[in-house]
Amino acid sequence: MTAKEIQQELEMYIDPVKKEYLPKFFKTGKGQYGEGDKFLGIVVPNVRLVAKKHREESFETVKELMRSEYHECRLCGLLILVERFKKNDEKDRKEIYEFYLSQTERINNWDLVDLSASYIVGEYLKDKSREPLYRLAESELLWEQRIAVVSTYAFIKNSDFTDIYALAEKLLIHEHDLMRKAIGWMLREAGKRNKDLLVTFLEKYCLVMPRTMLRYAIEKFPEEERKYYMRKE
């Protein structure tokens, strides 16, 4: 099936209310991080339904979806890759991983990263060198930096926290709010599984961490502990 035919299938799920709302939610205005992105107005569960039907589509078809001006088409391409990755062996997973990293300029909003990075990059690197994450973290492309951080979720779920703390340290004083939120989110997830490690990190860095990152990291702490860390402003 062609990318155009998959887009037509997606268009069956257009919601006019979402079409008006989503561009504002994903900051598509001039000078904003999602500047120029276009939305059909389709919620994620419906994009996922279409992706699951087309999990066997070729890389060429997925590449065409990734080239689309429409956000939901690019998301559908990524979710096809996620579905394929789940079902394939090591050789095919390597191809999916490499293809994914060739498309990072089109993985160009936070939800596109968050719904794909840990399921492809993170899962692939679980039993391999994590060096690719540090290369991504040094990229000038915001989305590659976010991929590096969010990919660690796959490790965190396995109680492997080394890389999230190393990356958080490396990217601690990041200027972009989307990175501050991503790092804070992953620190929170790590803290759910091992609070002592998170506390050690916070005691070292809470005075210099951006406030957004800190708030995200301590969101699940009891109120008194949150006040303790936020008081150190």
What CATH number does the domain containing 15 carry? Answer: 1.25.10.90
Confidence at 1, pLDDT banded by 50, 70, 90: confident
**pLDDT, tens only, 154-192:** 999 999 999 999 999 999 999 999 999 999 999 999 999
120, part of any domain: no
Q: How many domains does the chain have?
A: 2
pLDDT of amino acid 18: 96
3-class DSSP state for residue 176? Answer: coil
Chosen domain end from 85, 115, 145: 115
Residue 36 Ramachandran class (φ > 0 left, ψ -120 to 50 alpha, else beta)? left
Task: Convert 189-218 into a string of H (helix), E (strand) and C (coil).
Answer: HHHHHCHHHHHHHHHHHCCCCCHHHHHHHC
Centroid of chain to Cα 2: 26
Question: d(Cα 77, Cα 7) in Å, to the nearest integer?
Answer: 10
pTM: 0.95
Which two structure tokens, joined as six digits, stand for 90? 């090591």
Q: Strand pairing partners for 38?
A: 70
How far apart are alpha carbons 61 and 5 in whole angstroms? 10
Same domain, 207 and 178: yes
Q: What is the pLDDT of residues 58-109, one digit of tens each?
A: 999 999 999 999 999 999 999 999 999 998 888 899 999 999 999 999 999 9
Q: Of how many residues is the chain composed?
A: 233
List, in sequence order, every residue forming a beta bridge with 55; answer none if it has no partner. none
105 and 146 assigned to the same domain: no
Q: At what angle do helices 177-193 and 142-151 cross, to 10 degrees?
A: 0
For residue 200, give the amino acid letter. T
Distance of CA 51 to the CA centre of its chain: 18
Residue 70: strand pairing partners: 38
Query: Looking at 67, 90, 115, which one is the last position of a domain?
Result: 115
Do both 162 and 104 map to the same domain? no
Same domain membership, residue 95 and residue 17? yes
- Confidence class for position 232, pLDDT limits 50, 70, 90: low
Last residue of a domain, one of 55, 88, 115: 115
Distance CA 50, CA 10 (A): 7
Q: Give the Cα separation of 182 and 149 in Å (integer).
A: 7
- Indicate whether 38 and 138 sit together in one domain: no
Domain extent, residue 154, equals: 129-233
Which tokens is 3 given? Answer: 């990318």
How would you class 203 by CB atoms within 10 Å of its CB: exposed for 0-12, middle for 13-18, buried for 19 or more? exposed
Q: Determine whether 63 is exposed, middle or buried from the number of CB atoms within 10 Å of its CB (0-12, 13-18, 19+).
A: middle
103 and 196 together in one domain = no
